[in-house]
Structure 1
Amino acid sequence: MSVTIRPVSPRDARAEALLKASHALMESLFPPEENYFLDIDALCAPEITLFGAEENGVLLGCAAIARKDGYAEVKSMFVNPEARGLGLARRLLDHLERVAREEGIPLLRLETGDKLPAAVALYEQTGFTPRGPFGAYVENSSSLFYEKTL
């Protein structure tokens, strides 16, 4: 598998399709007040970079890094269901960690949902540890919060 990970515009039609699929999944699993996904416009902010995992022009997955004061947040991690099981989520996460390290960012944080066992397993296997809410997040019935010191 010859996958390239590179920045991609959230407005790229392929990225939009992945993001909309991710949003639909989150809306089917969690109540609206516990959904923290970023819409397309929010992902276009200058402090956020969306990366796409691409093979032969097909975007198979995406993940974003949102730079904050003293840390970066992992956002919009999603792999097309047809491409799951190939290690793409781990490769995307590794890429975000490399970018953060190169930029001198000391800490990655993220919020995920308790009904996403594959995501939770990935984060825990790659060294993320549980923590409480951060930034504007609040404690709720489905959010899980993690961080990893780089």
Structure 2
Amino acid sequence: MRVRTGIATHGKSTVTLPVVECRTRTLDHPDARRLIAALQQEYVRRYGGEDASPIDVSEFVAPRGTFIVGYLDGMAMACGGWRAHDPGPEFTAGDAEVKRMYVVPVARGRGLSRILLVELERRAVAAGRRRLVLETGTPQPEAIGLYTSSGYSEIPRFGVYRCDAGSRCFGKLLPVAAQSAR
């Protein structure tokens, strides 16, 4: 799917966003593996170690999840996905968790993360998800800025980093998908 975002306004500024082709990929696709490896190195640089969250490739396959790679001029430049969670102590019915959001350094500042996030939200709505949740940390202020400016609100910490004071968790209620007329 090609995502053409055209011109966006932010305050009094007008910005032309790039045309990004968002392709569904598995976590073990070569482009996804390369981007995730780079993301893990980013975590090492920022946090001192790789992300310890348990990840299973099958969690990011429809209908319980998705993973996309964003291509700019045919090159894999960004990735992200979501996985559904069953109701339980930390999650409610319809929750899905955003994971592995990443943009390569040379492509940052061009709106790719926002384009990917909007596409992930669109796919989550289409799959009947009601809320997206995610975990990030204070060493990633630009991620926190992306999520808060995209309508995400801080929620109680969850997951493997729930006891980490630097962990920040966010959630966003999604619009209900329109039902087709019968």
Q: TM-score scaled to structure 2, two decimals? A: 0.73
1:75 to 99, 116, 122: 99
1:62 to 79, 103, 121: 79
- Distance, in Å, in 1 between the alignment partners of 2:39 and 2:53 is 9
- Identity fraction in percent: 31
Is 1:105 aligned to residue 129 of structure 2? yes
Report what 2:51 is aligned to. 35
Unpaired runs of at least 5, structure 1: none
Unpaired runs of at least 5, structure 2: 1-17, 87-92, 175-182
Report what 1:95 is aligned to. 119
The answer (yes or no) to whether the contact 1:73–1:108 under 8 Å persists in 2 is yes
Give 1 or 2 for the bigger CA radius of gyration.
2
Paired residue secondary structure (1:139): coil
The answer (yes or no) to whether the contact 2:19–2:72 under 8 Å persists in 1 is yes
The answer (yes or no) to whether the contact 1:14–1:58 under 8 Å persists in 2 is no
Q: How big is the shift at 1:64?
A: 0.7
- Distance, in Å, in 1 between the alignment partners of 2:54 and 2:70 is 19
The answer (yes or no) to whether the contact 1:23–1:37 under 8 Å persists in 2 is no
Paired residue secondary structure (1:140): coil
RCO comparison, higher one (Cα < 8 Å, 6+): 1
Name the structure where helix makes up a greater proportion of residues: 1
Q: How big is the shift at 1:43?
A: 3.3
Q: How many residues align?
A: 147
Change (3 A) 1:37 1:137: closer
Q: How big is the shift at 1:137?
A: 4.6
Aligned runs of 1:7-46 on 2, under 5 Å?
A: 7-32=24-49, 35-37=51-53, 42-45=56-59, 46=61
Q: TM-score scaled to structure 1, two decimals? A: 0.88
Change (3 A) 1:22 1:38: farther
